[in-house]
Amino acid sequence: MLANRLKILLAERDLTIKDLMAATGLSRNSLSNMINNPFANIATDNVDKLCNYLEVSPKDFYDYSGWRFNYELLIDGSSSKEKAENEPLELRLKVSMISGKMRRVFELSYVLKYDMDYGDGGEHDAFVEAYQMDGADKLFIDVYKKISPLFKHQIESELLQPVPVILELANSCGEFDNQKEAMNVQFVYTDFGNNVVFQNDFIYDRSSAEHQKQTDKLMEGFRKYMNSKNDSKKK
d(CA 228, CA 194): 32
The CA radius of gyration of the chain, in Å to the nearest whole number, is: 21
pLDDT digits (tens, 9 = 90+) for 187-210: 999 999 999 999 999 888 887 545
Q: What is the pTM of this model?
A: 0.76
The pLDDT score that the predictor gives to residue 136 is: 96
The pLDDT score that the predictor gives to residue 224 is: 67
Low-confidence ranges of the chain (pLDDT < 70): 76-88, 117-122, 208-235
Parallel/antiparallel/unpaired status of strands 62-64 and 68-74: unpaired
The pLDDT score that the predictor gives to residue 79 is: 43
Query: Going by C-beta distance under 8 Å and a sequence separation of 6 or more, which residues neighbour residue 99?
Result: 66, 67, 68
